[in-house]
Chains A and B, each alone.
Chain A
Amino acid sequence: MPSFLRKRKLIVFLLSIIIIVSLIGYSLRSDGSSSVPAQFAHDTVGLFQSVLHRPIGAIADFSGSISDIREVYEQNQVLKQELQDYKSLAYEVNELEKENEELRAMADVDTTLSDYETLNATVIARSSERWFQQVTINKGSQHGVQENMAVQTAKGMVGKVINASQLTSTVQLLSGFGAEHQVSAIVDQNENIFGMIEGYDSENDQLIFRDLSDDSELEEGQTVVTSGLGGVFPRGILIGEISSIELDQYGLTSIAHVEPAADLNDINQVKVVDRELQNVEPTEEEDEES
C-alpha cells in the first residue's frame, strides 16, 4: 500500500511539472490574444478592482492634496505666467490647424498617419508582480479599445494595449518593453533619423533607442516621437528626450538613451490612441462630426 501511494504521488508530481512547463511554453509563444474564459477572468477581477479603486483612491487623493496645499502659491505664480504664453500659442495653433485643413482639402488628402482619436480611461490597478510593468484600465473592447493601440498621458506615450477584454484592458508600460514590443520611432524635426525603441534600461530608468539611419546626426536633447510606420501607432506621439548617446557593442550603429516624457510610475488618467488611417470605411461617428 505505501508503495502504491508513493507511486501515485510521483505520477501527480510528474503530471503537474508537464502541465506547468507546457503552460509556460504556450504563453511564451502565444500572440497575446485572449480566450473567452481569460476575458471573463479579467473582467471579473476588473469589476472588483474598479469598485475598490474608488474609496482607496479617494483616501490617497486626500492625503496627497494635503501635501500639495503647501506648494500651491508658488505653482500659481508660475502658472499665471505660463497662461499668458499659452493664449498666444493657442491662437497660433488654431490658425495653423485651419490652414492645414484647407491645404489638405486642396491636396485631397483625407487621413494621414498623424490623425488619431483618443479615448479617455482611468488606471484602476497595477500588476502586483512588479516585474511585469502592466496596468489595468477601465475601458475595454466594448468602448472601442483594441489590442496594440498606443496609450499616452498628457505628457507623452506610456505604453500599448496588450490585452483588451470586454470591460477592461491591460496596458504594457514602456518600462516593461522588451524585444517583443518594439516601437518604430523618429527624431522630431529631423526626418533622416529613424530607428527602433527596443528596450528599457531599468537601472537608469531610460529607454534604449537604436538608430538605424546611415548618417548619424543624433544629439543630446533631441525629442523622440513615434514614426507611425510598422504598426498601429499614429505619427508624432511624444516618447521622450535623448539624454546620452553611445555606440553599440559592435560599433556599427549608435544607441541613444531616451528619458521617457511621461512618469511611468505614477499614472492615473490615460488616453487610448485610435489611429484613423486603419479604418478602411469611415465610421458613423466620423460622419456625424463632419
Chain B
Amino acid sequence: MKIFLLPLVTLILLVLQSVLTEVIPSSFLDGMLYIPHWPLVISIIVMIFYDREHSYVGLMNGLAFAFLTDLTFTSILGVYLLGYGVSLYVIHLLKRVLHKNFLVSIVFVLLGVAIADLIIFGVYFLIGQVMIGFQDYLTIRLVPSLIVNVIGLLILYPLTKPMLTKWKYELEK
C-alpha cells in the first residue's frame, strides 16, 4: 500500500499542475512563466525525510516522473530527466552535510528547482527550442518558478513530513 502511495500522490501533483496551468488565465500572470515542478518538490521532501544513506526512493520517483513529464507535456524526451536527475543527485550529496529541518528543506527546494530549471533552459537553448537571453530567463521564468515551487513546498510539507518520519522510524526499528 505504502509503495503505491508515493507514485499516486506524485501523479496527482503532475496532473494538478497541468490542469491549473490551463484553468488560470495567462493574462492574469502578466507575461511571467510560473513553472511548477511539484513532482521534484515532493521527491526532495521524500529524499530528506525518508531516504537513508544508501536508499534512492526519492531519486527513483523523481526520475520516473521526470520521464513522464517529458513524454506527456513536451515533445522532446530526456530534458526533464537530465534536469531532475542532476538536481536530485546534488541534493542527495548535500543532505549528509546539513541538518534535516524546515529551513533546510526550503533551501534544498530552492536549490533543486534552480538547478533543474537552469539545466532545462540550457538544453532547450542548445537545441533551439527557446531563443531568449539569460537575463530575460532569470526575470521571466526562474524567479517566478522558484516562488511557485516554494508555495508548493509550504503546502506539501505539513501534509507529508509527519508521515514520512513515522515510516522511516518504523523502517529503522
Contact = CB atoms under 8 A, between A and B. Distances in A.
A20 B11 contact: no
Interface in A45-103: 45, 48-49, 52-53, 56-57, 60
- Per DSSP, are chain B's interface residues mostly helix, strand or loop, or mixed? helix
A197 B25 CA distance: 26
A19 to B, nearest CB: 8
Which of A32, A56, A130 is packed against the most chain B CB atoms within 10 Å? A130
A130 B37 CA distance: 12
A127 B76 CA distance: 13
A123 interface: yes
Given A42-B72, A48-B12, A134-B73, A24 B78 contact: yes
B98 interface: no
Nearest to A64: B25
Interface string B106-148: 0000000000000010011001011000000000000000000
A45 B79 contact: no
9 contacts: A16-B85, A23-B77, A24-B127, A48-B15, A128-B69, A131-B129, A135-B22, A162-B75, A163-B75
A129 B80 CA distance: 10
B77 A24 contact: yes
A23 B74 CA distance: 13
Nearest to A16: B85
A105 B76 CA distance: 48
Contacts of B55: none
Contact of A32 (B11, B21, B35, B75): B75
A266 B15 CA distance: 19
B23 A57 contact: yes
A45 B72 contact: yes
Interface of B: 11-12, 14-27, 33, 35-36, 68-69, 71-82, 85, 120, 123-124, 127, 129-130
A41 B71 contact: yes
A28 interface: yes
A125 B22 contact: yes
Given A28-B127, A48-B15, A132 B24 contact: no
Contacts of B23: 53, 56-57, 60
Contact of B81 (A23, A48, A124, A126): A23
A135 B22 CA distance: 8
A125 B16 CA distance: 9
Contacts of A27: 75-78
B75 to A, nearest CB: 7
Q: Which 6 A-B pairs have the closest CB atoms?
A: A23-B78, A126-B22, A125-B18, A127-B73, A48-B15, A265-B26
A26 interface: yes
Contact of B76 (A19, A28, A45, A128): A28
A131 B75 CA distance: 11
Nearest to A123: B22
A127 B21 contact: yes
Contacts of A41: 68, 71-72
Contacts of B78: 19-21, 23-24, 27
Nearest to B33: A130
Contacts of B25: 265-266
